[in-house]
Amino acid sequence: MQLKEVLDKYPQSEDYLIEILMDYQKHKMHHDLTEEELKTIAKHLDIKESRVSSVVTFYSLFSLEPKGRHVIQVCHDVPCHVNNQTAVLNTLKTMLNIDVGQTTDDEMFTLEYTSCLGACDKAPVMRIGEKTFMNLTSNKVKAIIAEYRGRKHA
Amino acid sequence: MPEQKMLTKRIGDINPLSIKDALEKGTYKQLEKALKMNRIDLIDEVEKANLRGRGGAGFPMHIKMMSTAKQESTPKYVVCNADEGEPGNFKDRYLMENDPHIILEGILIAAYATGASKGYFYIRGEYNQAISIMKWAIEEAKENGLLGTGIQGSDFDFDIEIRTGAGSYVVGEEFAMIESIEGKSGRTRVKPPFPTDEGVFGKPTLLNNVETYCNLPFIVDMGGENYSKIGTKTSTGTKLISLSGNVTNPGVYEVPFGTTVREVIEDLGGGVPNEHKIKMVQLGGACGPIIPEFMLDLQIDFERFEEFESKTGAGAIIVMDERQDLFEVLMRIVKFFQHESCGRCTPCREGHVHLEKLVHSFFKGDGNPNELYSLESLARVMHHSSLCGLGQSSPISIISSLSYFRDAFHDRMAFGGGEK
């Protein structure tokens, strides 16, 4: 989706800044926002670029760095931790051959931590894009990653 | 003591994507009743009910409502706080995904009582499914004349829109949320003025948690006095508990105030699986106290929780068995808050950096008496001097651990033999 299309969806008012940024970033292949785009948004809303920049750097769901096509976010808060989240994370690291905060060479996956996803009764959990996977085990994680990898070739 | 389902009683019987289902089960009937009442009488019923906030701080609802209602400045706003980011809490997600219309009915009653004409429903950005369901519910409510102008044939006009978060825990704090609704970074403001005086866009704003609003239709239905008979004398009504950790049946349970933590874990949650034993339990969420097994007969009640210098929290119970290491748990909690601190005030911004270093020393088994002293005094300074609830409550897990698991700290001193 083009930036203009997203801008046209919202009232031209600065309180929609976060909504616009979230909506637009979601449509980007590498889930990042560029300086040019921030400038365009600032101009459209008639606010300073520094204001847009401060918002983008404050909220952790925004990124100025390109990420993999699929962003894998693993919860590491206490309820997940006590349900063997470490095993899940280690399986992911081994399978993807990357550490937390890194992207695979083929730009398919980025591995990140996330704050609690609010599914603690089904811990441990992770999110890939907008989909949450629950009651994870190492075997489940292997199957999920294999399925995502399969899609690439499809 | 079994569950007492009030807010959650229709869950499972209704399709959350069907307003027809909700209407057939009587949703919006209490709104109809409320719209025929005098606004002040309505707030009086909330006072008689003694409804207190369910998001963590437990502030009396009627005081906020009356304060907003008395303001002359317009427009007035109602904000629903669905930025449920406290680790261990998932009851608001449960309500949104399963019965969105009960929440909307509660918000509408609050808006009518306070004279608000516009609402913001702020949901954290990670809750994709809840966002879609709430958006759908709002559309259906509009189509059925429950939002917009002349609601249910009255002269009451109200509209609400969803705002989504973008990954910030501190936005759950009231002024940080107001800043975020205005499209800014979520940094809190100095109080007073309070949101009821100058909230969203500087206008009077009533801001409450999802679960708090959900209680209003039941207060209208049964009357404040009857409602106040549920629970204990000082903590009335029911509480949704998010039960997680090392427990057989984790999930959301609705219990009357006064139920003990042990009853929730053992009777409802089925205890700890695989014959493991409870070592410690964290109450409220990451910002709550960590208590040992022998304290589990503690009643869930606003007053009892205040003894821990803590608030009731949003009602999380996180069970940890004997395999779990206290210091690993504390490390996760401290790192979480360090990441989420907005950086505005010094005790919270700088305090978390040092808190992490100090906890890490004990985690490694390298602690010493000076560090123990520093940890305790720093935790207290942060608790007493931070600007908002984040920095005030984040050290509670450490303060409570120092009270109830002090030996564990001694065991982790470099000369102390140590577990690790």
Chain B's closest residue to A131, CA to CA, is: B128
Both tokens of residue B418?
């140590």
Kind of pairing between the strands at A131-133 and B159-164: unpaired
Q: Does B241 touch chain A (CB under 8 A)?
A: no
Q: Which residues of A touch B324 (CB under 8 A)?
A: 82
Q: How far is CA B18 from the centre of its chain?
A: 27
Q: Looking at residue A115, what DSSP letter applies? A: S
Q: Which CATH architecture has domain A70-149?
A: 3-Layer(aba) Sandwich (3.40)
> Cα–Cα distances in Å, from B395 out to A106, B64, B195, B274, B389?
42, 28, 26, 32, 11
Between CA B402 and CA A24 the distance in angstroms is 47
Q: How far is B135 from chain A (nearest CA, A)?
A: 14
Residue B248: pLDDT band with limits 50, 70, 90: very high
Q: How far is A9 from chain B (nearest CA, A)?
A: 14
Using the beta-carbon criterion (under 8 Å), do B186 and A58 form an inter-chain contact?
yes
What value of ipTM does the predicted structure carry? 0.94
pLDDT for A152: 56
Q: Does B211 touch chain A (CB under 8 A)?
A: no
Q: How far is CA A38 from the centre of its chain?
A: 18
Using the beta-carbon criterion (under 8 Å), do B320 and A117 form an inter-chain contact?
no
| Interface probe with A: pick from B128, B244, B248, most Cβ of A within 10 Å | B244
Q: How far is A64 from chain B (nearest CA, A)?
A: 14
Both tokens of residue B392?
């005030």
pLDDT for B418: 47
Q: Which residues, 6+ apart, have CB-to-CB distance to B199 below 8 Å?
A: B77, B79, B178, B205, B206, B207
- Residue A154 CB: number of other CB atoms within 10 A? 4
Using the beta-carbon criterion (under 8 Å), do A59 and B90 form an inter-chain contact?
no
Q: Hey, is B100 helix, strand or coil?
A: helix
pLDDT for B415: 74
| Residues of chain B by 3-state class (helix, strand, coil), percent to 5 | 45, 15, 40
Between CA B247 and CA A83 the distance in angstroms is 10
Number of residues in chain A: 154
| Interface probe with A: pick from B79, B123, B126, B326, most Cβ of A within 10 Å | B126
Between CA B221 and CA B243 the distance in angstroms is 29
pLDDT for B179: 96
Both tokens of residue A96?
């993807």
Q: Which residues of A touch B333 (CB under 8 A)?
A: 78
> Cα–Cα distances in Å, from B203 out to A15, A107, B104, B174, B194?
15, 47, 22, 14, 10
Q: Hey, is B3 helix, strand or coil?
A: coil
Between CA B33 and CA A134 the distance in angstroms is 42
Q: Which residues, 6+ apart, have CB-to-CB distance to B74 below 8 Å?
A: B115, B117, B203
User: Which of B45, B95, B91 is closest to B227 using CA atoms?
Assistant: B45
Binding-face residues of B in 43-72 toward A, CB within 8 A: none
Between CA B173 and CA B177 the distance in angstroms is 6
The partner residue sitting opposite B164, judged by closest CB among A22, A77, A123, is A22
Between CA B303 and CA B287 the distance in angstroms is 17
- Residue B275 CB: number of other CB atoms within 10 A? 7
Q: Which residues, 6+ apart, have CB-to-CB distance to B346 below 8 Å?
A: none
Half-sphere exposure of B139 (CA within 13 A, CB side): 9
Q: With 0-12 CB in 10 A as exposed, 13-18 as middle and 19+ as buried, what is B197?
A: middle
Using the beta-carbon criterion (under 8 Å), do A14 and B183 form an inter-chain contact?
yes
Complete edge-to-edge strand list for the sheet that includes strand A109-114: A109-114, A70-75, A126-128, A131-133
Both tokens of residue B16?
């959350």
Between CA B137 and CA B141 the distance in angstroms is 6
Binding-face residues of B in 377-406 toward A, CB within 8 A: none
Poorest-confidence range of A35-49, B132-146, B331-345? Answer: B331-345
% chain B with pLDDT above 90: 89
Using the beta-carbon criterion (under 8 Å), do A121 and B333 form an inter-chain contact?
no
The partner residue sitting opposite A78, judged by closest CB among B124, B187, B329, is B329
Q: Contact at 8 Å (CB) between B289 and B308?
A: yes
Chain B's closest residue to A73, CA to CA, is: B126
Between CA B122 and CA B119 the distance in angstroms is 10
Between CA B132 and CA A20 the distance in angstroms is 17
pLDDT for B416: 54
Compute the radius of gyration of chain A from its Cα atoms: 17
The model's pLDDT over B95-132, given as tens digits with 9 standing for 90+, comes to 999 999 999 999 999 999 999 999 999 999 999 999 99
Chain B's closest residue to A56, CA to CA, is: B185
Digitized pLDDT (tens) for each residue of chain A, 154 residues in all: 799 999 999 999 999 999 999 999 999 999 999 999 999 999 999 999 999 999 999 999 999 999 999 999 999 999 999 999 999 999 999 999 999 999 999 999 999 999 899 999 999 999 999 999 999 999 999 999 999 998 755 4
With an 8 Å Cβ cutoff, the interface of chain A facing chain B consists of 14-19, 21-22, 51, 54-55, 58-62, 76-79, 81-83, 114-123, 127, 130, 132
Q: Hey, is A113 helix, strand or coil?
A: strand
pLDDT for B308: 67
Q: Which residues of A touch B121 (CB under 8 A)?
A: none
pLDDT for A149: 92
% chain A with pLDDT above 90: 95
Both tokens of residue B415?
């000369």
Kind of pairing between the strands at B290-292 and B316-321: unpaired
Q: Does B166 touch chain A (CB under 8 A)?
A: yes
Is residue A103 left, alpha or beta, with left meaning phi > 0 and alpha meaning psi from -120 to 50?
Answer: beta
Both tokens of residue B93?
């997600």
Q: Looking at residue B309, what DSSP letter applies? A: T
Q: How far is A104 from chain B (nearest CA, A)?
A: 23
- Residue B407 CB: number of other CB atoms within 10 A? 9
The model's pLDDT over B197-210, given as tens digits with 9 standing for 90+, comes to 999 999 999 999 99
Q: Is the pLDDT of residue B410 over 60?
A: yes
Q: Contact at 8 Å (CB) between B165 and B128?
A: no
Q: How far is CA B232 from the centre of its chain?
A: 19
Using the beta-carbon criterion (under 8 Å), do A79 and B87 form an inter-chain contact?
yes
The model's pLDDT over A72-94, given as tens digits with 9 standing for 90+, comes to 999 999 999 999 999 999 999 99
Is residue B56 left, alpha or beta, with left meaning phi > 0 and alpha meaning psi from -120 to 50?
Answer: left
Say which residue the tokens 């785009």 belong to: A37
pLDDT for B305: 77
Between CA B211 and CA B91 the distance in angstroms is 8
Both tokens of residue B316?
């999380």
Going through B35-152 in order, the beta strands assigned E by DSSP cover 77-82, 118-123
List of domains in chain B: 19-227 (3.40.50.11540), 238-321 (3.10.20.600), 326-416 (1.20.1440.230)
Which amino acid does the sequence have at B116? Answer: A
Q: How far is B315 from chain A (nearest CA, A)?
A: 13
Residue B420: pLDDT band with limits 50, 70, 90: very low
| Interface probe with B: pick from A50, A116, A128, most Cβ of B within 10 Å | A116
Q: Does B252 touch chain A (CB under 8 A)?
A: yes
- Residue B193 CB: number of other CB atoms within 10 A? 13
Half-sphere exposure of B182 (CA within 13 A, CB side): 20
Using the beta-carbon criterion (under 8 Å), do B85 and A83 form an inter-chain contact?
no
Number of residues in chain B: 420
Q: How far is B318 from chain A (nearest CA, A)?
A: 7
pLDDT for B312: 59
Using the beta-carbon criterion (under 8 Å), do A120 and B244 form an inter-chain contact?
yes
User: Which of B244, B266, B270, B268 is closest to B255 using CA atoms?
Assistant: B268
* Terminal alpha carbon distance of chain B: 40
State chain B's mean pLDDT as an integer.
94
The model's pLDDT over B68-82, given as tens digits with 9 standing for 90+, comes to 999 999 999 999 999
Compute the radius of gyration of chain B from its Cα atoms: 22
The partner residue sitting opposite B324, judged by closest CB among A16, A82, A122, is A82
Q: Does B199 touch chain A (CB under 8 A)?
A: no
- Per-domain residue ranges of chain A: 3-58, 70-149
